[in-house]
Structure 1
């Protein structure tokens, strides 16, 4: 592998990590509260708001069902208004956040649904408020599942960030398109694929390990019967 190729890979990897890191953090900040709201505002739950739940669910489903490449192109005016450009790493973060936020929300909602309803009923019987139930029952009990969902989200973001390279988003995908595809440099394309595979494997292993640790702590904290 030539020195030039190594430099290109390191630069592209840095851009990819920046895109995935920032968009993953923002998607988590927006998606976790949204996922909680999707659950607790549902029919028969602790804070039923049918109209809000229906509208939020429709928006989340519509965004999730839109192919990322179409979403990225469709919101170019919004991206340009927010970051001043429609190409590059900063521009790619906008559609990545919009695509990942509803995904995080559904992952969080699914994890929260696994919480034993008996725990919620016990908390309500003791006079806990909806906020207390969320903070002290739902989220702590669902943490391992939420960690798994966030890991899946980050892995998906790596794939989305590579796809963003097709429209000048920067990162490993852009490197593969410009050098591997357009200039017919097969070794560049192969190197990009290998780095992406290693990156996904690393993220998946770290996320699985963190989720297992949370699960062990949760089980250790459970009262013995």
Structure 2
């Protein structure tokens, strides 16, 4: 039975009201990334970093999974083979739609201790003085991967791509590594590839579906679930 690996990016959550990294009117546009999304920024001004991620956490809590998230959860639930969903996003919309996901850039709704690396569910408002439940250190940080840090699950994701029969990219610009390299892994392994974006990204995919993810992804899921199963 075929295995499908899917990589999702900010574009899949944009229709839920969560601005993409490059959007001109989102939270990102109001902050200098070097001051809120690097280990150095956190060491220099943890209060500003927590303020930024508290705003992002608030926006995430107000958002709801859209039709694309729901469709992928359905695919994972109903496909007779394996469906591995990997996301560059730190929101929890995939999970709230019912999917199981590998978060390569961490999770906004989780906290992490800068001292002992223990992780726990993040409160709505985090601050540097929050004690770690495991070691008691007052060095809480968001459990997200900042610029200059290595993404989570990279080896596991690379392996999932290599053993797939189909690799799909949804709502990702394909410009940030290592995520940008997964399509290359698939191509070298002669695995079929497909991209879903508002417009063509320039990547060398075998197939493309272009338009809002809430339209293209549910249609595709309906389509492949009707295919004869091997």
- The structure number with the bigger radius of gyration is 1
The structure whose residues are more often helix, as a share, is 1
The bucket for the TM-score relative to the shorter chain is under 0.3
TM score, norm. by length of structure 1:
0.26
More strand by share: 2
